[in-house]
Every structure is written in structure tokens, then in C-alpha cells.
């Protein structure tokens, strides 16, 4: 098991957002978390990645207890994430965005005198190529289209060759075309790199097309998990989620 989550609990001012969620993920698995709005998907991500402190529970990553670690420490152990709302460095170029992630990952960030423009040029270009941004290398990232920004975010996350990648709604706000292109891209990269992927997604088609396993959250609790077929036919899921959404 590369990631084990035990009995995660979190409440905000008395509102219980996550109430005893447990699951584990094997190396190389493609898992997704689904659930209606407010089910606690993003909170679960925030708890795992050290973005929020948790009230109760444990998170074990690669055999290390990361429950109380800070976000940057968890990152260094090989877990990366993207954010639901695009999270890039807007007034830097596309190239600089990815290069910064490489600097951090390769331990070059605490270097005061090497001219930064000479570092990791080829590696950066290679990553930009992989996420389909090779032609936008010098563009200000804040002025890119939304779909490109999402791709850039993926590039930033990939720069550090993570073992586990958590993607929070990687296609939120995208057009149908952008969505399928992005999903294809994510699936391809995950297979090439042997990544373990955990993502949340609102688009059911996407979820069922690429997930190997699906976890279903409802009101802060996990109601079931299983293969796409199992989840699709589960009556509880249909009641709380599919029935309500469609």
C-alpha cells in the first residue's frame, strides 16, 4: 500500500466535513473520489497533503506517518497535488513555472549565485512537451487559456516525478473537448510513469472511463468503493449521487 488513510476526521466550526474516512491505495492504481458537492472530497485532499490539520486519524505514505507533517515536507517525500481552482504563478512565464518546480525538486532552490536561466532548460522543455505546452514556453502563464493553465498545473506537479499525484478536479471548468484531451493526457502520463493517481472529478463520464477504482463520499463518510461497474450498479450510490445529479 503506497497510501493508507485511517479514520480521517475534520470539522469546521461544528460542521463535520469529513467523518471517519478510511481507504488505501496500491502503487500504480488509478483511483477517483466522487460524491455530490459538499461531500468532503477536497477536504480529504487537504487533510492528506498537509494543507489542513486534521482532528483525528492517521495518514501513512510509503510506510511513513505523515499525519502531522507540513505540506512542503510531504511534497519532498514524493506526493504532489493540483488544485481545483487553478494554482500557478501567474506573472511568471510558462517555462519559469515548471522550472521553479524542478529547482525545488532537485534541491537547487537554496543556491544564491548561479544564473537561474542556465538551469534545467532541457528538462523543463521536455515536461512542457509532455503536457502539450511546448509552443507556449515564453508566454506569461496568467494570460493562458483556462485549459492551458490546467495543463501547466499538471506540468508543475509532474516536474518532481511524484510517486503519488492527487488531482483535485483536473477538468473543472473545461469544455468537453478540453476535458477529453486532458483526461487522455493524464491517463497516458500515469501509465508511462507508473504513477499512483488519486483524483476527484464531477464529470461522471471521465470518472468511469479512466478510474480503476472509485471511492464514493457522501456527507463526509465513505459509503462504498469498488470498480466502476460495481459503483455504477450500487443502489446506495444511485440514490445519493447519480439520482440526485441527473
Partner 1 sequence: MSKQDWFLIPIFLILCLVPLSGSRFYVFLATDILIFALFAVSLNLLLGYTGLVSFGHAAYFGIGAYACALLMRKASIVFPVSFVAAGLFGALAALIIGFFCVRLTKIYFAMLTLAFSQIVWAAAFKWNSLTGGDTGFIGVPFPQYLDSKTRYYYFTLAVVVVCLFIIRKVVNSPFGRILTTIRENSERTEFIGINVKFFQLVAFIISGFFSALAGALFGIFNHSVFPDFLFWPASAEVLIMTILGGMYSFFGPVVGAAVVLFLRMQITSYTQYWPLILGMILAVLLFFFPGGIVGFLQNRLTLLRGNR
Question: Mask 108-127, x = binds partner 1 (CB under 8 A)?
Answer: xxxxxxxxxx-x--------
Q: Is residue 69 part of the contact set for partner 1 (CB under 8 A)?
A: no
Q: Out of 19, 49, 67, 211, point to the residue binding partner 1 (CB under 8 A).
A: 49
Q: Out of 96, 163, 168, 169, point to the residue binding partner 1 (CB under 8 A).
A: 96
- Start-end of H helices in the chain: 41-48, 71-76, 94-105, 121-130, 146-158, 176-193, 204-210, 228-233, 235-237, 243-245
Q: Is residue 143 part of the contact set for partner 1 (CB under 8 A)?
A: no
Nearest distance from residue 72's CB to partner 1, in Å? 5
Q: How many residues bind partner 1 (CB under 8 A)?
A: 37
Determine the Cα angle at 170 with ends 169 and 176, to 5°. 100
- The rounded distance, in Å, linking the Cα atoms of 110 and 150 is 28
- Closer of 15 and 112 to partner 1 (Cβ): 112
Cα atoms in the 13 Å half-sphere on the side-chain side of 102: 21
Q: Is residue 164 part of the contact set for partner 1 (CB under 8 A)?
A: no
CA distances from 236 to 36, 128, 217, 224, 242 (A): 13, 42, 11, 8, 9
The footprint of partner 1 (CB under 8 A) covers 49, 51, 70-72, 75-76, 80-81, 83, 87-92, 96, 99-101, 103-105, 108-117, 119, 156, 159-160
Amino acid at each position: 500500500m503506497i497510501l493508507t488513510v485511517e479514520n480521517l476526521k475534520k470539522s469546521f466550526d461544528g460542521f463535520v466535513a469529513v467523518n471517519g474516512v478510511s481507504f488505501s491505495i496500491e502503487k500504480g492504481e488509478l483511483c477517483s473520489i466522487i460524491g455530490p458537492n459538499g461531500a468532503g472530497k477536497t477536504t480529504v485532499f487537504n487533510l492528506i497533503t498537509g494543507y489542513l490539520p486534521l482532528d483525528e486519524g492517521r495518514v501513512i505514505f510509503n510506510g511513513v506517518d505523515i499525519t502531522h507533517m507540513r505540506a512542503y515536507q510531504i511534497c519532498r517525500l514524493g506526493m504532489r497535488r493540483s488544485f481545483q481552482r487553478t494554482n500557478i504563478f501567474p506573472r511568471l512565464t510558462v517555462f519559469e513555472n515548471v522550472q521553479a518546480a524542478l529547482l525545488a525538486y532537485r534541491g537547487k532552490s537554496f543556491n544564491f549565485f548561479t544564473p537561474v536561466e542556465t538551469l534545467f532548460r532541457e528538462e523543463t522543455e521536455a515536461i512542457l512537451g509532455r503536457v502539450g505546452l511546448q509552443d507556449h514556453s515564453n508566454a506569461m502563464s496568467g494570460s493562458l487559456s483556462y485549459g492551458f493553465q490546467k495543463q501547466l498545473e499538471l506540468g508543475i506537479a509532474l516536474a518532481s516525478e511524484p510517486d503519488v499525484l492527487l488531482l483535485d478536479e483536473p477538468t473543472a471548468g473545461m469544455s468537453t473537448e478540453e476535458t477529453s484531451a486532458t483526461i487522455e493526457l493524464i491517463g497516458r502520463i500515469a501509465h508511462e510513469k507508473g504513477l499512483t493517481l488519486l483524483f476527484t472529478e464531477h464529470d461522471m463520464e471521465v470518472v468511469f472511463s479512466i478510474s480503476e477504482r472509485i471511492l464514493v463520499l457522501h456527507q463526509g463518510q465513505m459509503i462504498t468503493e469498488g470498480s466502476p461497474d460495481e459503483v455504477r450498479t450500487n443502489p446506495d450510490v444511485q440514490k445519493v449521487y447519480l439520482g440526485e445529479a441527473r
